[in-house]
Structure formats: structure tokens, C-alpha cells
Amino acid sequence: HDFPGCSPIVSQLRPQSRGRLWLKSPVPTDPPAMVANYLDDETDRRVVVEGMRLVRKIMAQPAMAKFRPEAYLPDEGPQSDAELLDVARRVGSTQYHPISTCRMGTGPDAVVDPELRVRGIEGLTVADASIMPTMVSGNTNATCIMIGEKAADLVAARLR
């Protein structure tokens, strides 16, 4: 690259907003419908706006001068909470780790039990990020590998 740079990113790693996923048709190959509801919860909106303000403070430090565009300075660009939230809604993105569409647990809203078996459907096991009842603070890859390993052990034990 011809110039120095950095990419400060604000991310609500444990969002409170909840989306929905449902089947649009009885045809199993049809894609499902989804409403993500990003920034639907007040806590998520507050965390993102506070994070954007913190990034501006960090980027305003003299050591960061050669890395920052003007939009990262505290007195440049959007100022109010509403303006910052509008920016987050327009240009924000996710970490692309949707989870919990088949939540594991013991409660009535749980789709799979602690043995990863789908309640009410004999012989069906789910072993991916959809069973995670809450988000981990980071990439879901390692957690999904562990879920897969545990599922393999559980299925193997059932077959013995």
C-alpha cells in the first residue's frame, strides 16, 4: 500500500436485538425468510453510538493522526446520537455470525435438548451455530468445531 491506514470497527458482540427466521413454503429447497432486526433493541443502539464516540476519541490522539480520515475526528461529521445511529444503520455491518435459530436448552422455547436432539422429531440432531443459545465474544468457528465434536461423540454413543 502507498499509505498507512487502519480500520477501527465498532461491533456489538452480544446484541440484544432478536430477529426471526421462518419457512416461506412447504418446499424444503426454498430459502427461508428472515428479518434480522439489527439495532432493534435500545441497548444495541446505545452501545453502537457509544462505541462510535470512543473510536473518535481514539482516532483523535496524535499517534493516530497519520491513519485517520477526517470523519473520525470528534468535531467532524455526525454529532448527535440520532445522526450517529443513522450512520450505523446506513453503513454498518455485522460480524456475519447468526446464531440461535434452533436454540439448545431445557426451556419450552428450546428447539434442541442438551443432547442436540430436535424435540419431537426422532433421530434428528442439529450440530451448528443455530443451537447456540447466546453469542460468544468472537468468531463462532472454534465453537462450531467443538459443537461438531460433541455431536459426533453423542451420536456415536447413541449407536453403541
- Separation CA 143–CA 157 (nearest Å): 21
Predicted TM-score (pTM) of this structure: 0.78
- For the question of residue 97 being annotated catalytic, the response is yes
In the set 87, 97, 100, 155, the catalytic residue is 97
Domain range annotation of the chain: 20-91, 97-160
- For residue 154, give the H/E element and its range: helix 141-159
pLDDT at 141: 94
- 68 touches 59 (CB < 8 A): yes
Which residues, including other chains, have CB under 8 Å from residue 3's CB and lie 6 or more apart? Answer: none
> How do the pLDDT tens digits run along the chain, 160 residues long?
677 778 888 988 888 999 999 999 999 999 999 998 999 999 999 999 999 999 989 988 999 888 877 666 667 788 899 999 999 999 888 777 888 899 999 999 999 999 999 999 999 999 999 999 988 888 899 999 999 999 999 999 999 9
